[in-house]
Amino acid sequence: MSKSMVTYIATHETKSPLRHSEIVENGIEPSKEHFARQLVIKAQDELGIIPDGFPGATPEERLRDYGYTITSKTSTLHITN
């Protein structure tokens, strides 16, 4: 079975980039929203923000509120037996 390492990177004007990677089955990749949600958690940690539970904001909107933008996605194939 082959798998891929999928990585999303979010950048900020003055902070270090945030990265979130997962190993996934080929053809069964989590949504961009899933990765954005993980990046929001990392952004909150980086910025020392306590989640406010604001309803209605998508993870990408929340990232933008924090000054981050998803700027890249990479996928690297790993072959396993």
What is the DSSP-derived secondary structure letter of residue 43?
H
The predicted structure's pLDDT at residue 20: 97
- Rounded-to-integer distance, Cα 65 and Cα 67, Å: 5
- Rounded-to-integer distance, Cα 18 and Cα 65, Å: 15
> pTM to 2 decimals?
0.86
Half-sphere exposure of 12 (CA within 13 A, CB side): 19
Digit-coded pLDDT (tens) for 23-33: 998 878 899 99
